[in-house]
Amino acid sequence: MLGSYGLSTHIWNNRLKSLVLLAGFPVLLLIICFGFAVLISALDNPDVGQGIVNAFHILPSLIPVALIASLVWFVIAWFANQAIVDSVTGARQVDRKAEPRVWNLLENLCISRGIPMPKLRIIETDARNAFASGIRPAQYSITVTRGLVNSLNDGELEAVLGHELTHIRNRDVQLLVIAAVFVGIISLAGDLLIRSPRILFSGNSSGGYGGGYRSSSRRSSGGKGGGGAIILILIAIAIFLIARFLGIALSLAMSRKREFLADAGSVELTKNPDAMITALQKISGHSELHAPAQVQEMFLDHPPGPGLSSIFSTHPSIESRIDALVKYAGGHPPAPLPPEEAPPAAMAPAGTDAAATIAAPGQHGPWG
Q: Which tens digit of pLDDT belongs to each residue from 199-213? A: 555 544 444 434 433
Topology of domain 96-174+257-357, per CATH? Zincin-like (3.30.2010)
φ and ψ at residue 101, rounded to 5 degrees: -65, -55
Helix and strand counts by DSSP (H, E) for the chain: 13, 4
Cβ atoms 21, 178 nearer than 8 A = yes
Residues forming beta bridges with residue 145, ordered by sequence position: 123
Collapse the DSSP code of 286 into the 3-class scheme (helix H, G, I; strand E, B; otherwise coil) and give the result.
Answer: coil
Q: To which H or E segment does residue 212 belong?
A: helix 209-220
CA 265 – CA 365 distance, rounded (Å): 7
Q: What is the largest distance, in Å, between two alpha-carbon atoms of the chain?
A: 89
**pLDDT of res. 121:** 97
Residue 14: C-alpha distances to residues 117, 173, 212 (Å): 22, 10, 52
285 torsion bin: left (phi>0), alpha (psi -120 to 50), beta (else): left
Residues forming beta bridges with residue 92, ordered by sequence position: 122
How many Cβ atoms are within 10 Å of 142's Cβ, its own excluded?
25
**pLDDT of res. 115:** 87
**Residues that are catalytic:** 164
Choose among 152, 144, 130, 128: nearest CA to 286.
128
**pLDDT of res. 212:** 39
Cβ atoms 157, 99 nearer than 8 A = no
**pLDDT of res. 231:** 87
- Each domain of the chain, given as residue ranges in start order, spans 2-86+176-253, 96-174+257-357
Cβ atoms 170, 13 nearer than 8 A = no
Cβ atoms 297, 133 nearer than 8 A = no
Q: Where are the beta strands (DSSP E) in the chain?
A: 92-94, 119-123, 130-133, 141-145
Residue type, 348: A
Residues forming beta bridges with residue 143, ordered by sequence position: 121, 131
6 torsion bin: left (phi>0), alpha (psi -120 to 50), beta (else): left
First to last CA, the chain: 20
**pLDDT of res. 130:** 96
CB-based contacts of 138: which residues, under 8 Å, 6+ apart?
A: none
**pLDDT of res. 221:** 44
Mean pLDDT by 10-residue block, N- to C-terminus, for the chain (368 residues)?
Answer: 52 70 73 86 84 90 84 80 88 95 95 91 96 89 96 96 92 77 67 58 44 42 59 84 72 71 90 94 90 82 65 79 90 73 41 39 43
- Burial letters for 182-206: b for 16+ Cβ neighbours within 10 Å, e otherwise? bbbbbbebbeebeebbeebbebeee
- DSSP state, residue 300: S
Q: What is the pLDDT of residues 213-265, one digit of tens each?
A: 344 444 444 444 456 788 888 888 888 788 777 766 666 656 667 888 899 88
